[in-house]
């Protein structure tokens, strides 16, 4: 059995012989924050592609020339059981879908594709893939007492076995690029763990930290989000907040409150530590912050992609974006 430990890369493979469906779906997923999307219109290319590229989720059309999705599914499940497969089917194929689900398919969606259904199904599949990979990696580390990057935890002095288990758990969740919440009493070493996670994550930019408890409501808002000149008495010049700084430095992933991995500590640094994990889908913009500091850049990117797909036809591009042609024309002029 073959296996890729690359679920954290969130690569989605779309397999359909309709190029139009592939292009629209790719644009939709990217606009929803799922930016690593691979496509192929030939079913015979799927197995060689899986052997050479890390893939987290496959969206597979049941009806294709050369080899149907029904025939391809068992091959995928047999060689890559860790990759969730989402079937694309027609309304009148319920029996076929049931058979495929029993054969190992993760989910199915019906053509014509509903955008929300496609994105929701893929997000659930990505969550399962990441969770499976986390459990496998964590099990391997705990059973072998293995720590890949011990130097990262040098500032946390301990001989406690449960604390070492926390180190191993931290290595696993840091690689997911999901938001992480560390909670505990004063003195347990929350910032030391945060710094270790930042270093393990591979995120670009500096680590940004501040003490929320030392700020009142007004100072909290100003510290995080900054202010414009003249916003209040004494605001003689504009000042950027720490959120803006974090976004520019590509570390905005730590700011989302939509999903958490939680490490709960006792009041003593080397005492018993209990782990609790909560998994959900994070803010879709997390994956885009590193590339688009402003909403305007996101908008321009979407417009450029739609115009490329429509080969310069503004009417078609407007339909792809779900806006009026006059609105698109105005946005193009203002770019």
pLDDT of 267 reads: 31
With 60 as the cut, is the pLDDT of residue 283 above it?
A: no
Q: Phi and psi dihedrals of 334, rounded to 5? A: -90, -5
Cα dihedral 288, 290, 293, 299 in deg (nearest 10): -30
CATH no. for residue 330? 1.10.10.60
DSSP characters over 270-333: TS--EEEE------TTHHHHTT-SSHHHHHHHHHHHHHHHTTT-HHHHHHHHTS-HHHHHHHHH
Stronger pLDDT, 136 or 251, i.e. the higher one: 136
Give me the percent of the chain exceeding a pLDDT of 70: 74
CA distance 279 to 298: 27
Average pLDDT of the segment spanning 9-19: 87
Instruction: Note the pLDDT of residue 298.
Output: 65
In a domain, 324, yes or no: yes
Three-state secondary structure of 214-278:
HCCHHHHHHHHHEECCCCCCCCCCCEECHHHHHHHCCCHHHHCCCCCEEEECCCCCCCCCEEEEC
Instruction: Please report, for the domain that includes residue 22, its CATH number.
Output: 3.40.50.2300
The answer to whether residue 105 scores a pLDDT higher than 90 is yes
Confidence (pLDDT) at 91: 75
* Domain of residue 200, residue span: 147-278
Residues 13 and 50 in one domain: yes
User: Which one is predicted more confidently, 141 or 79?
Assistant: 79
Question: For residues 303 and 331, is the Cβ–Cβ distance under 8 A?
Answer: yes
At residue 40, φ and ψ (nearest 5 deg) are -150, 140
pLDDT tens-digit readout, 106-147: 999 988 888 888 999 999 998 888 777 767 776 676 667 778
CATH number where 188 lies: 3.40.50.300
Is residue 1 one of the residues assigned to a domain? no
Confirm whether 290 is domain-assigned. no
- What pLDDT is attached to residue 275? 34
């Amino acid at each position: 059995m073959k296996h890729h430990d690359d679920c954290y890369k969130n690569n989605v493979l779309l397999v359909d012989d309709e190029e139009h469906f592939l292009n629209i779906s790719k644009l939709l997923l990217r606009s929803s924050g799922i930016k690593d999307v691979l496509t192929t219109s030939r079913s015979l290319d799927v197995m060689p592609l899986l052997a050479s590229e890390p893939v987290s989720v496959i969206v597979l059309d049941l009806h294709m020339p050369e080899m149907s999705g029904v025939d391809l599914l068992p091959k995928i499940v047999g060689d890559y059981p860790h990759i969730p497969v989402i079937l694309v089917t027609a309304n009148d194929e319920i029996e076929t879908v049931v058979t495929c689900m029993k054969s190992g398919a993760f989910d199915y969606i019906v053509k014509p594709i509903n955008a929300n259904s496609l994105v929701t199904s893929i997000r659930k599949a990505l969550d399962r893939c990441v969770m499976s990979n986390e459990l496998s990696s964590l099990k391997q580390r705990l059973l072998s007492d293995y720590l890949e990057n011990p130097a990262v935890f040098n500032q946390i002095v301990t001989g406690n076995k449960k604390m070492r288990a926390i180190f191993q758990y931290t290595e696993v969740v840091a690689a997911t690029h999901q938001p992480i919440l560390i909670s505990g009493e004063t003195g347990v070493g929350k910032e030391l763990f945060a710094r270790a996670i930042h270093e393990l994550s591979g995120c670009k930019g500096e680590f940004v930290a501040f003490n929320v408890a030392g700020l009142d409501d007004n100072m909290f808002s100003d510290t995080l989000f900054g202010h414009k000149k003249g916003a209040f008495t004494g605001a003689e010049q504009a000042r950027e907040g720490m959120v803006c700084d974090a976004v520019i430095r590509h570390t905005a992933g730590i700011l989302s409150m939509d999903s958490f991995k939680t490490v709960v500590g006792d009041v003593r640094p080397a005492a018993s530590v209990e782990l609790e994990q909560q998994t959900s889908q994070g803010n879709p913009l997390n994956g885009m912050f590193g590339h688009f500091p402003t909403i305007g850049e996101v908008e321009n990117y979407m417009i450029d992609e739609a115009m490329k797909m429509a080969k310069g036809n503004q009417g078609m591009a407007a339909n792809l974006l779900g806006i009026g042609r006059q609105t698109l024309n105005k946005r193009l002029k203002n770019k």
